[in-house]
Structure 1
Amino acid sequence: MATARMNGRSPEAQAFRADRVIETARQLATEGGYEAVQMREVAKRARVALATLYRYYPSKDDLIRAFVDAQVRLLRADVVARPPQDANPGARAAAVFIRAFHAMTRDRGFAQAAMCIYHTPQPLGTQARPIEEGHRASFIDIAAYAAWGSGHQPTDDEYLALYLLESLLNSSVISWLNGHMTPDYVERRLWFAAARLLVEPSGPPGGGRRAD
């Protein structure tokens, strides 16, 4: 995940405002989704040199990842401040996925941009980028925290269930963006799946490996 690194050694580094750049990119996504996030327009609106922008964010995908990460941090803070109060881990985990979905329904352009960078297949023959620690693992950790609290170490099967729920959320968001599902139906799918995937016992010890 690309993040702006400012060591303060130059006026250029001191002047670079990552928060302003990220918010500018987010606004462009809101206006027109993935295609609207153009590096030249981000630089113009954020009042930074285009070369400087590329130094901190080598591509617009890196910039979009940055504002997706910012949204995930907001979700984490919200879950810590207002933890789900449902009666069982499945319902509490589902509540987190649904909060994330609600945020996307409030900003369709953001949702479309996020889905494009994480869930669009690369052209055939493209060198795959290594999976970095970032919003995916963080999002799963937020759901695990909501489901079981900070003192619980999820089992391999519990992690697997959370990754399956994340995959269901992503596919459902794409279907919603394409007009194939209503928001209510997406929520029903998430509640239904969580209730069946996150049950006790989750399976025999060591029954699966954590998805990386």
Structure 2
Amino acid sequence: MPRIAERREPAEPVSADQQLRYRRILRAAARLGAEHGHERMQMNDVAKEAGVAIATLYRYFPSKNDLFLGLMRSQVRVLSPATVADDGLPPSKAVAKTLVSATNGLLQAPLLASAMLQANNAAQHQSGSEGSDVSNAFHHLVLRSLGIDDPTPQDLRMVRLVEQAWYGALVSVLNDVITYEECVEDIDVICELLLSPTYDEPRDAGDCKE
């Protein structure tokens, strides 16, 4: 029987030249992904537009899913969370504002957003765990909006539920099942129902501990 190649972990850019090539690849993938989506975008076209050898592209991104996951990771990292301290908002409203901001960014390029969500779902399935590193970064973003530095298991569970509900609203608007306005309203309801009862009132030190 032919051997099935084992999955290779993506390489990380180290030198300044490598980081420059890495950023060029992401820019090329963002443009082509926004134009063509997951299925129609070709890795050869990304390498050509980025001005790198195809072997270089595959060194940093062994698959198309890895490439879209890298794009989503870069987008999550630059998101600025709304916070209680900065905006004077209740924690649940701060999270809703953060999620609406993330939604607005993703909806600027719907085909790219769908491709990134597809890649993240594949990463979660492949890892067999609850989240990829992108999901973990997203959880950290929501926790910052809540003003939580040392989350309990219950905090992490609530953030995970918020993520899952938000993903559902986001997929619905991307698939034209609901309007953008309905998506924003859904985000408000998600945060109101899941977060407001626990986080909008001051918590004792022992609350939500397991």
1:134 Cα offset (Å):
1.5
* TM-score of the aligned structures, taking structure 1 as reference length: 0.79
* Separation (CA, whole Å) in 2 of partners of 1:165 and 1:15: 33
The reply to whether residue 182 of structure 1 matches residue 179 of structure 2 is yes
* Separation (CA, whole Å) in 2 of partners of 1:70 and 1:40: 21
Q: How many residues align?
A: 195
CA spacing shift, 1:133–1:174, aligned 2, 3 Å: closer
Gaps of 5+ in 1: 208-212
1:23 Cα offset (Å):
0.7
* 2:118 counterpart residue number: 116
CA spacing shift, 1:53–1:87, aligned 2, 3 Å: closer
* 1:128 counterpart residue number: 126
Gaps of 5+ in 2: 1-8
Which of 68, 73, 76 pairs up with 2:72? 68
Q: Percent identity?
A: 25
Question: Equivalent residue of 1:145, what SS?
Answer: helix
* Separation (CA, whole Å) in 1 of partners of 2:61 and 2:87: 39
> RMSD over aligned Cα, in angstroms?
3.0
1:63 Cα offset (Å):
0.9
* 1:141 counterpart residue number: 140
* 1:32 counterpart residue number: 36
* Separation (CA, whole Å) in 1 of partners of 2:48 and 2:110: 24
1:37 Cα offset (Å):
2.8
1:102 Cα offset (Å):
0.9
Which of 140, 159, 164 pairs up with 2:161? 164
CA spacing shift, 1:130–1:201, aligned 2, 3 Å: closer
1:58 Cα offset (Å):
0.7
* Separation (CA, whole Å) in 2 of partners of 1:43 and 1:190: 37
Question: Equivalent residue of 1:181, what SS?
Answer: coil
Question: Equivalent residue of 1:96, what SS?
Answer: helix
* 1:210 counterpart residue number: none
- Structure number with the higher helix fraction is 2
The reply to whether residue 4 of structure 1 matches residue 6 of structure 2 is no
* 1:105 counterpart residue number: 107
Question: Equivalent residue of 1:33, what SS?
Answer: helix
* TM-score of the aligned structures, taking structure 2 as reference length: 0.80
CA spacing shift, 1:82–1:2, aligned 2, 3 Å: farther
* 2:59 counterpart residue number: 55
* 1:87 counterpart residue number: 89
Once the two structures are superposed, residues 54-96 of structure 1 have per-residue CA deviations (whole angstroms, 9 ceiling, x without a partner) of: 1221111111111111101110xx3379976253111111111
CA spacing shift, 1:198–1:80, aligned 2, 3 Å: closer
CA spacing shift, 1:194–1:86, aligned 2, 3 Å: farther
